[in-house]
Amino acid sequence: MRWYKSSVIYQIYPRSFQDSNHDGIGDLPGIISRLDYLQHLGVTAIWLSPIYASPLYDNGYDIADYCAIHPDYGTMADFQKLLAEAHRRQIKIIMDLVINHTSSEHSWFKQAISDEKSPYRDYYFIRSGKKKPNNWTSFFGGSAWTYLPNENLSYLHLFAPEQPDLNWENPQLRMEIKNILRFWLDMGVDGFRCDVINLLSKPKKLRNSRRFLVLKGAEYYINGPKIHEYLQELKRDVFNQYDMMTVGECVFITPAKALEYIEEGVDELNMVFQFDHMAVDNYFKWFLRPFKPYRLKLALAKWQDAINGRGWNSLYLENHDQPRSVSRFGNLDYYYASATMLATLVFFQQGTPFIYQGQEIGMTNAHFTSLNQYRDVETKRIYQIGRTQLKLSHKRMMHKIKYMSRDNARTPMQWDDSKHGGFSDANPWIEANPNFVTINVKDNLANEHSIFHYYQKLIALRKTYSVIIEGDFKLHYPKHRALVYYERCFQDQQLIVLCNYSTKPLSFKPLHDFSEFTVILDNDDNKGPVLQAYQARVLFRRTADDKHS
């Protein structure tokens, strides 16, 4: 079994994790100082959001130099120290790889726009004149084309104007990217999380989109014509040469399409991040709809049913682009129960768990009340577009932002109850949530019944019961609105997960004889058959006759 299947991966958003030099910005020495904490939690790998040289329009998802560390975060020596210190603790390091676009301050782009004869011009989608080559729109709202009056050029960007898209058709560009990958792998990094990897391939002709309202152009560039050719090339020339893993962020992907990337034998990527369960409370991000627990349950089960046995799932509830899960899918009136129930529901499924910083202590959405407390480029652009183009009121836009803004996940990590939550003694680049006074690592560590300790147990159980990693998956009562009841089997091991995803006590007809099972995890003292609000229980047994193998 490849190592990533038994890994538990912790995502660090470096800017918000731990400041070490009193400038209000998280950094690499700060991360190093917290490795013991992560080891105590039990995670076996860290995914670092971008730490490369960047003007930080999109907090590093706009890279200006792929082989340099942003001075805010430290030096290359700091990075090498982090790598060594992590490896010493049996913790692997996964880098974030943003290769759909660069920063507009990357030297490739600067040369591309300043010199018509430059070989770099073909690294991007650059067209002469002001006329937009097509009607495509950006993920962050507005046109996907920006005009440069001085150069009289227009260029394509699926994200912010400061993030011009790379042209993967160009073989020289592909060679340069492969060298960048080798640079980090030779240094010892253990893999990559590949940003919006399924957007890499654009068609030869950039035709007008027929999509309505949002993401015009998506029908051409999502899983575009040559995407598999490009990834096969990366696999052959780079991935196959190292003991590494990849997880590709694939937006708007179905299980069938995902298998084209991850099916065993294809192995272009080891896993994808899919978004079905991130759409259970919205039609398209900012178009909110009421959250229904059964939708979350079914979205996840769909991926279990389709991928297990043929590929490998990633399991996640949060990342740096999503609201906090306890605020979003849990219930703050049942804070501990709902946070731990969510962890149980998701992380006992088959796949590799990804835990986002602060999730393990139940951090909640930002408390912001005013637009200027937000820092995120997407949030600011969406506000403008909502106000000017959609003519929505300030109140309505603030409501959407409060619920959905990416900054909900980007407030400083809450270490203790001192000023700014122990993240920094200087004013942080983004305000801490004042609830650090009660929600923080120190308190979680001191309290035996904390969310942290629940996560720690959950992670430890993966090392004891191989059924948690390798077992198949069967969802029972799929239509039930409150009950989550699923079963995992592997050889002679059988595991049952029960969750009451509601505020009311829940009784149901068991499909197994629970008296034959041992409870290996429970977020409530209640031992009876009626599950309390948000109660989650995990049961295990060995079957004598090996009937499940």
**Residues forming the active site:** 195, 249
Name every residue whose Cβ is closer than 8 Å to that of residue 158 and which is 6 or more positions away in sequence. 100, 101, 136, 138, 139, 144, 165, 196, 199, 217, 221
List all residues 6 or more positions away from 50 whose beta carbon is below 8 Å from its beta carbon.
59, 60, 61, 63, 96, 98
Considering the complex, state which of residue 102 and residue 134 has its C-beta at the smaller distance from ligand ISL.
Answer: 102
Contact residues for 23 (Cβ-Cβ < 8 A; gap 6+): 72, 424, 426
Check residue 361 for interaction with ligand ISL (CB under 6 A).
Answer: no
Choice between 339 and 401, CB closer to ligand ISL:
401
**356 scored as a contact of ligand ISL (CB under 6 A):** no
Query: Is there binding between residue 64 and ligand ISL (CB under 6 A)?
Result: no
Binding mask 306-335 for ligand ISL (x = CB under 6 A): --------------xx--------------
Query: Measured from the CB atom, is 50 or 471 closer to Ca ion?
Result: 50
Q: Does 194 bind ligand ISL (CB under 6 A)?
A: no
Is residue 78 part of the contact set for Ca ion (CB under 5 A)? no
Candidate ranges 18-26, 31-39, 117-125, 500-508; the one touching Ca ion (CB under 5 A): 18-26
> Is residue 159 a contact residue for ligand ISL (CB under 6 A)?
yes
Long-range contacts, stretch 377-385, CB < 8 angstroms, 24+ apart? 377/57, 377/58, 377/140, 377/160, 378/58, 378/139, 378/140, 378/160, 378/405, 378/406, 379/405, 379/406, 379/407, 381/140, 381/141, 381/142, 381/160, 382/140, 382/141, 382/286, 384/141, 385/141, 385/142
Smallest separation, CB 237 to ligand ISL (Å):
24
Q: How far is the CB of 158 from ligand ISL (least distance, A)?
A: 8
> Cβ distance 315 to 346 under 8 Å?
yes
Residue range at the interface with Ca ion (CB under 5 A); choices 14-22, 119-127, 294-302, 357-365: 14-22
Under rule CB under 5 A, residue 427 binds Ca ion: no
Beta strands 52-53 and 65-69, pairing class: antiparallel
Distance CA 483, CA 502 (A): 8
- Between 80 and 282, name the residue whose CB sits nearer to ligand ISL: 282
Binder to ligand ISL among 195, 233, 281, 524 (CB under 6 A)? 195
Structure tokens, 431: 């305000």
Contacts of 353 (CB under 8 A, 6+ apart): 8, 9, 315, 316, 346, 347, 459
Piece of the chain touching Ca ion by CB under 5 A; list 20-28, 215-223, 257-265, 302-310: 20-28
User: What are the tokens at 215?
Assistant: 């993401």
Residues 210-269 that bind ligand ISL (CB under 6 A): 249, 251
Picked from ligand ISL, Ca ion, none, the partner binding residue 318 (CB below 5 to 8 A depending on kind) is none
**What residue 19 binds from Ca ion, ligand ISL, none (CB within 5 to 8 A, per partner kind)?**
Ca ion
Please report, as ranges, the residues that interact with ligand ISL according to CB under 6 A.
58, 61, 98, 139, 159, 195-196, 249, 251, 285, 320-321, 378, 406
